[in-house]
Amino acid sequence: MSKLNITRTSSQIENVEPYSYNPEPASAGTITANQKWLSLLPFSDKRDFENATRGFIGTIEDLVIRKENGSVVWELARYDFLKENQPPDSVHPGLWRQAKLNRINGLFLVADRIYQVRGFDIANLTIIEGNSGLIIIDTLTTVESAKAAIELYYQHRPRRPVNTIIYTHSHADHFGGVRGLINEAQVEDGSVRIIAPSGFIEETVSENVLAGPAMARRALYQFGQQLPVGPYGTLDAGLGKSSVGGTISLIAPTQLITEAIETHTYDGVEVVFQLTPETEAPAELHLYLPQWKAFNAAENATHTQHNLLPLRGAKVRDAKAWAEYLNVALELFGRKAEVVFAQHHWPVWGNANVVDYLSKQRDIYKYLHDQTLKLANQGYTAPEIAELVSLPEELELEWSVRGLYGAVKHNVKAVYQRYLGWYDGNPVNLDPLPPVASAIKWIAYTGGSAAVLKRAAVDYENGQYRWVAEVLGKLVQAEPENREGVLLLAAAFEQLGYQAESATWRNAYLQGARELRQGVTDNRDLLTSIDLRKALGVNHLFDTLAVRLDSERSRGKKITINWYFTDLNQEHLLTVERSTLNHLAGYSSNKADATVQLTQNTLRSLLLKETDFVRAASSGLIKIKGNPLKLVELFTLFDEKNPFFPIVTPRKPR
């Protein structure tokens, strides 16, 4: 077994805890499974390493990014173990290669007047030098990482002001650092413009509100933020090193791209935009810079197969549309482009290479789409299709579409889900017992937990980790206090994680093992961002209440409230009846129990518990006509968000 040790630096990384236990070493079966890839995959192809280092200008050695309070949110030294050339036994060689590539960091020249800062965040900061100032494509995840990245640029280039920011899409790692580059006053006085795809604000808020707590909880499994960094923990996120900590910010765009193709000029730079909705993000765009024959693919063409449905959860992405947009981009821009670059990973140079790269990126999503539906139309179900679909050799041996982030198995299931949903047509699966009840019966049918554990231990020794995880997953649901079963399931998860080529699969397995061994601890919720709170409109705020309504407490209740928002000059009708909350902008009822007059900021403060009704009313922030007790009653009907719910163990019964 490799001699590499778990790597921890002395500083405490935000939201990351050190191991309080010894993880299982790689088993003989895992070592064999991982070593076989060394001969199957094209490790002799070094072009990605050449491209990832091409144009290097400089970096900050031993980079540490801190919050104002001194807490560390990013520290590259944690990944020093990746300097080893040979992958350890506990890491899939393909993922080890990707992790090494993603550790390459610094300021790079992409083309004349186009620069990127890579390795200071999971995403890239792209900087275009206009005639008088800077055009920034995406802003990284947090204020702290964006500040560090732009300061690196200024160490090597003239300190010119930012006058344009382009958000390529509606994910936080592409807009969250904006206040590290500009401030709102610059936008308000017109000295900085912000461009984004149509639907940007709506999709930014939507993805982080209604299912926000669940998505944030599951994101810990996808990105492994709580896992120690090292060869037995997390080592990469596939798209970049890791999701960065710090302060997420947002400033609304001043211009939206609404047409399929639009051309604009900013600070002397011509930019051709291509809208690509329903691809990697619901609101996304590509852009082409004719002056340098440079195509930016946002996050639709990176050096990995992407997710059609991320493990954290999201709206299922449209693989067919994704491929079609890339096909259009290939014909409009790729046939003449001399470089293609994206907001993750490294560029590709030379027109022949650009065409090859974009065509394979196009084909991976079209192939998965078409083959999934071909098999679905023959009656195969999603789990069966996941086992049946394999890639043609031209794609299987292409590093840029390997399953290093997304993966074939869960992408074909996503295609199936988009078209056919969760039900596979077999009545056996129409109304099965819920997990705990099913598990209790299943364990009893198989002779009890002792018998299950005895067989599972044998299968574990024989390297049948998928089956062991499936069986012991049921045992832990039935008997969460069965420590022998819990620990054996954790061990199976660890072996599956060590064998995973996808960084997100590895992180998910190892986070599951961690929680089995240590229990559920902290969580990070994206909505703690003050700017994202401000982005919540009245409809979004009432939507968040609707999904928190307790059906039992609200049973038999009938409440009608008129809301009047003075800053919007807008009425809003809210009703609770039949344990359902409905709301409608622009309407009111003359039979309302109460009418409330306030601003939308006051409503935000109330819902976020920054104030309460008594204080708000006494300070004049709220005026109530009618029965104020009905308003008080309304706010007794809601559950609190629970970002700490269990995933690999059963939740407590309601």
Task: Identify the pLDDT of residue 532.
Answer: 80
Indicate whether 16 pLDDT > 80. no
Task: Identify the pLDDT of residue 113.
Answer: 98
SS3 110: strand
* pLDDT tier for residue 609 given thresholds of 50, 70 and 90: confident
Domain 28-420 belongs to what architecture? 4-Layer Sandwich (3.60)
User: What is the arithmetic mean of pLDDT over 419-428?
Assistant: 97
* % of the chain residues with pLDDT over 70: 95
CB 208 within 8 A of CB 281: no
112-121, 205-214, 355-364: least confidently modelled range: 205-214
pLDDT in tens, 216-258: 899 999 999 999 999 999 999 999 999 888 999 999 999 999 9
Task: Identify the pLDDT of residue 11.
Answer: 38
Largest CA distance in the chain: 77
* pLDDT tier for residue 209 given thresholds of 50, 70 and 90: confident
Q: Name residue 549's beta-bridge partners.
A: 638
User: What is the arithmetic mean of pLDDT over 367-395?
Assistant: 98
Task: Identify the pLDDT of residue 3.
Answer: 31
Task: Identify the pLDDT of residue 383.
Answer: 97
- For residue 404, give the DSSP letter: S
User: What is the arithmetic mean of pLDDT over 430-452?
Assistant: 97
Indicate whether 647 pLDDT > 50. yes
* pLDDT tier for residue 371 given thresholds of 50, 70 and 90: very high
d(CA 61, CA 64): 9
User: What is the arithmetic mean of pLDDT over 323-350?
Assistant: 98
* pLDDT tier for residue 526 given thresholds of 50, 70 and 90: very low
Task: Identify the pLDDT of residue 528.
Answer: 57
Residue 79 CB: number of other CB atoms within 10 A?
22
CB 350 within 8 A of CB 337: no
Task: Identify the pLDDT of residue 523.
Answer: 57
Task: Identify the pLDDT of residue 249.
Answer: 95
Q: What is the mean pLDDT of the chain?
A: 93
27-31, 205-209, 617-621: least confidently modelled range: 205-209
Indicate whether 5 pLDDT > 60. no
195-199, 206-210, 272-276: least confidently modelled range: 206-210
User: What is the arithmetic mean of pLDDT over 494-517?
Assistant: 98
pLDDT in tens, 154-179: 999 999 999 999 999 999 999 999 99
pLDDT in tens, 462-477: 999 999 999 999 999 9
d(CA 242, CA 227): 11
User: What is the arithmetic mean of pLDDT over 250-271?
Assistant: 98
Task: Identify the pLDDT of residue 21.
Answer: 63
User: What is the arithmetic mean of pLDDT over 517-544?
Assistant: 78
Distances (CA, A) of 242 to 143, 292, 507: 16, 31, 11
| Contacts for 98 with CB less than 8 Å, ≥ 6 apart | 236, 238, 303, 304, 404, 503
Indicate whether 525 pLDDT > 80. no
Q: Which two tokens stand for residue 422?
A: 């969760």
46-60, 68-82, 250-264: least confidently modelled range: 68-82
SS3 595: strand
- Evaluated on CA atoms 159, 165, 171, 177, the torsion sign reads positive
Model-level pTM? 0.94
Task: Identify the pLDDT of residue 333.
Answer: 98
529-634 folds as Nonspecific Lipid-transfer Protein; Chain A (3.30.1050)
Task: Identify the pLDDT of residue 42.
Answer: 97
Phi, psi of 91 (to 5 degrees): -135, 135
d(CA 127, CA 135): 6
Task: Identify the pLDDT of residue 494.
Answer: 98
Between vectors from CA 504 to CA 466 and to CA 306, what angle results, nearest 5°? 115
Task: Identify the pLDDT of residue 4.
Answer: 30
User: What is the arithmetic mean of pLDDT over 111-117?
Assistant: 98
The more confidently predicted of residues 531 and 452 is 452
Q: Render the burial of 537-558: b for 16+ CB within 10 Å, e for the rest.
A: bbebbbbbbeeebeeeebeebe
Between vectors from CA 258 to CA 256 and to CA 261, what angle results, nearest 5°? 115
* For the chain, domain boundaries: 28-420, 529-634
| Amino acid of residue 431 | D
User: What is the arithmetic mean of pLDDT over 322-346?
Assistant: 98
Q: Which two tokens stand for residue 185?
A: 């006053």
Indicate whether 1 pLDDT > 50. no
- For residue 222, give the DSSP letter: H
Indicate whether 316 pLDDT > 50. yes
Q: Which two tokens stand for residue 244?
A: 């960065």
Q: Name residue 265's beta-bridge partners.
A: 270
Residue 442 CB: number of other CB atoms within 10 A?
17
8-17, 90-99, 307-316, 398-407: least confidently modelled range: 8-17
